Structure 1
Amino acid sequence: MAGTCSMLCLILITLFVPPLGVFLISGCSVDLLINILLTILGYLPGHIHAFYLEYVYYGNRNAAEATAPRRAPGVYSERIQRGGHHHQTYGTTP
């Protein structure tokens, strides 16, 4: 229930301010910069990008519990790619 509530709050925030929604899931990253630029170029591209990142984030968040999540194209934040999960792998490079 808490996951659903946080997802709905994030969607509402993203609806009004797309870069803020991206910041909440990716932190200060390249994806945030891309979203700010897309929002400046047009409000609709910023929304599309932000909702795509949220779709990837929550999809990988659910998939990470069962299997290793698949990398999404066009997403540069490891936090989004991993669905917010922190996987420590020692001796390997990402």
Structure 2
Amino acid sequence: MAGTCSMLCLILVTLFIPPLGVFLISGCGADFFINILLTILGYLPGHVHAFYLEYVYYSRRNGATGQAPGVYSDRIQRGGHHETTYGTIQH
């Protein structure tokens, strides 16, 4: 229930301010700045980009795998899941 509520709140935020919705799921990175640019260029492209990122984020949270094209944030690609690699060497 809490996940559904947060998703609905995120959608409402994104309806009014698309870059803020992207910031809440990706942080201050490439996807956020791309969305600001798209929103400046036109309100609709900013919305389309923001909702695409949210779709990828929540589909990854529900177990989808693979790399989503056009998504530069690792946080979105992982669906917010953190990889714990403490004390290990990755090759």
Scaled by the length of structure 2, the TM-score of the pair is 0.93
1:7-38 alpha-carbon deviations (Å, 9 max, x no partner): 00000000000000000000001000000000
- Give the AA of the match of 1:15: L
How far off its partner does 1:88 sit? 2.3
Q: Which residue of 2 aligns with 1:54?
A: 54
- In 1, Cα distance between the equivalents of 2:70 and 2:52? 10
Gaps of 5+ in 2: none
Q: Which residue of 2 aligns with 1:77?
A: 73
- In 1, Cα distance between the equivalents of 2:38 and 2:47? 9
- In 1, Cα distance between the equivalents of 2:52 and 2:89? 32
Is 1:91–2:89 an aligned residue pair? yes
- In 1, Cα distance between the equivalents of 2:45 and 2:89? 39
Scaled by the length of structure 1, the TM-score of the pair is 0.90
What percentage of aligned pairs have identical amino acids? 78
Q: Which residue of 2 aligns with 1:8?
A: 8
CA-atom RMSD in angstroms: 1.2
Aligned residues: 89
Matched residue SS, 1:59: helix
- In 1, Cα distance between the equivalents of 2:59 and 2:52? 10
